[in-house]
Structures are given as structure tokens and as C-alpha cells.
Structure 1
Amino acid sequence: MRALDAAPAAEAAPLIRRILTEDPDRQMARAAVVRHLDGRAAKLAGTDDQTWHTWTAPLREAIGDDPFLTLRLQEWTLVHQATATPSWSPSTLSAASDWLQRRLTETPGVSAPVLAFLAEHGRTKRVRAASRRPPRTEPDGS
């Protein structure tokens, strides 16, 4: 994990690929990659689309066909869209995982229409309640 934290952005994707293919402990490798992905995505959510794409394109290739990592990256892309662009769909949010719906309620900058939708249609009571709270204005560092 320290190697990922210390790697320059341009070297992260090749390092992730190496971790996922060479680490004999598959679960630990995935955990390290998820932690890195979550931390970096939280910092980049809400940036412009070019910055987001510059980060996600090589990452998408690096994680290959790992279903969990692919899903997590897709979910973070939805968080990005809900904070940086007006492009989100009610059907996508309705089908979103519990993790993604909770993340949207915790992420500064998520649009009011997204939160209003989740307040009414969120999958869990926790998501519906959190969507009604006043929006956060500062990142939580996660």
C-alpha cells in the first residue's frame, strides 16, 4: 500500500496491474487496490471530466476483468457524475448499491436533485435520512 501511496499518478496504473497479477495473496492485493482507488477517487470526485478520464482510463485497463474493482470504479464514476456533471439518471440511482447510495449522501458537492431523489427513493432508511440532512461542504478525507 505504501508503494501505491508514494507512486506518482502516472505510475499508479502499472503498479496496480503488477500488484494484482504478482501478489500471491489475491485478497490483500485487491484490498490495497480498493483502498487506493477509494482514496484517490474521493479526492478527484467533482473534478472536470478530463481529469477524471485521465485517471480512470489507465486504471480501468490496470484492473482488468476483476468484477469487484470494475464495479467500484463504475460506482465512483457515478459519484463523480453526481458532483461534477448534471448527467445522472433516476434508474441508475435506483439500481445503485447500498454502498454507492450511502457514499452519495456523504460526498460534498452532490447535487440537490440527486439528494432529493435519494431522500425519496433511497434503498434504505439510513440513505433516505442522510439525504435529508444539510449538505456537507468539506471533504471527509476518506
Structure 2
Amino acid sequence: MLRDPDPVMAESAVVTHLDRRAVRLLHSDGFADWAAAMSAAVAGRAFAAGRLREWVLLKAVVRGEPWSAEELARASDWCQRTAVRSPVPPEALVLLAGAARTRLVRNGAAQRLRRASATA
């Protein structure tokens, strides 16, 4: 795909593939190997490499692995929106409710926190 003569279309197709595969592998032990292989494949493609980095961050947050609050706070709008729709721990939602880039994400995180406290 990356050899397509239209670089924008090539990168768009790769990012679509990344998104679809990452969702399927997010809870799998094979995620790390897949991400390492994809990292080599997208080297030099800034947008695709950035999306892959954000999937690695989301995997860490969702799976309870070490993650950086600063990195999540600086993440793209896409990454933050995806995190709010994912089964992330309360500390990630608290961070996003207070420091997300957009009001939509901040409100979404705050709503999830309120729902969680109402059912607890």
C-alpha cells in the first residue's frame, strides 16, 4: 500500500488498516509483536507512525499497563475521544475530564465518571 503513487491515499489506507487491526488486537498478547512490525513498516510516515504510537498508549491505558498522564493529555483529539469510549480506568477519565484538548472529550469523560459513581 505504501508504494501507491498517491502518498496521501497510501497513508490513509495504512491508517485505516492500523485502526482496524489495533481494535482487534487491543486485548491480545499479540499486540506488541504486531505493533513492532507495523512500526518498522510505517517508519518515515509521520501520521501513520503517530497513530500507531497512540494505539500503543491506548493499549497501555486499557490494559492497566504503565502509561504517562502527560502523554495522554498531549495526545490527539482522536486518541482522547477513543480513550473516553474505551474501558479505561477512572484515573484516565479524571485526567481527560480536567485536561483533554476539547470540551467534547472533557464532557464525555466527566459523564462517564458520573455514571460510574451513580452505579457504585
TM-score by length of 2: 0.85
Q: Which residue of 1 aligns with 2:110?
A: 132
Question: Is the 1:47–1:84 Cα contact (8 Å) retained in structure 2?
Answer: no
Secondary structure in 2 matching 1:134: helix
> Once the two structures are superposed, what CA deviation does each residue of 1:41-79 show, in whole Å capped at 9, x if it has no partner?
12222334xx21111111111112111111000011111
> Once the two structures are superposed, what CA deviation does each residue of 1:113-140 show, in whole Å capped at 9, x if it has no partner?
10121112212110111112338xxxxx
Alignment of 1:1-142 (within 5 A): 19-20=1-2, 22-48=3-29, 51-107=30-86, 109-134=87-112
Question: Is the 2:73–2:100 Cα contact (8 Å) retained in structure 1?
Answer: yes
Mapped partners of 1:123, 1:86: distance in 2: 23
Distance 1:96 1:42, change over 3 A: same
Q: Which residue of 2 aligns with 1:139?
A: none
Secondary structure in 2 matching 1:85: coil
* CA shift for structure 1 position 37: 0.4
Mapped partners of 2:94, 2:28: distance in 1: 22
TM-score by length of 1: 0.73
> Once the two structures are superposed, what CA deviation does each residue of 1:94-116 show, in whole Å capped at 9, x if it has no partner?
21111111111112x21121012
State the aligned residue count.
Answer: 113
Mapped partners of 1:25, 1:124: distance in 2: 32
- Unmatched segments (≥5 aa) in structure 1: 1-18, 136-142
What amino acid maps onto 1:62 in structure 2? Answer: A
Identity of aligned residues (%): 37
Mapped partners of 1:31, 1:24: distance in 2: 13
Question: Is the 1:120–1:128 Cα contact (8 Å) retained in structure 2?
Answer: yes
Q: Tell me the C-alpha RMSD between the 2 structures.
A: 1.6
Runs of 4+ in 1 over 6 A off after TM superposition: none
Question: Is the 2:25–2:31 Cα contact (8 Å) retained in structure 1?
Answer: yes
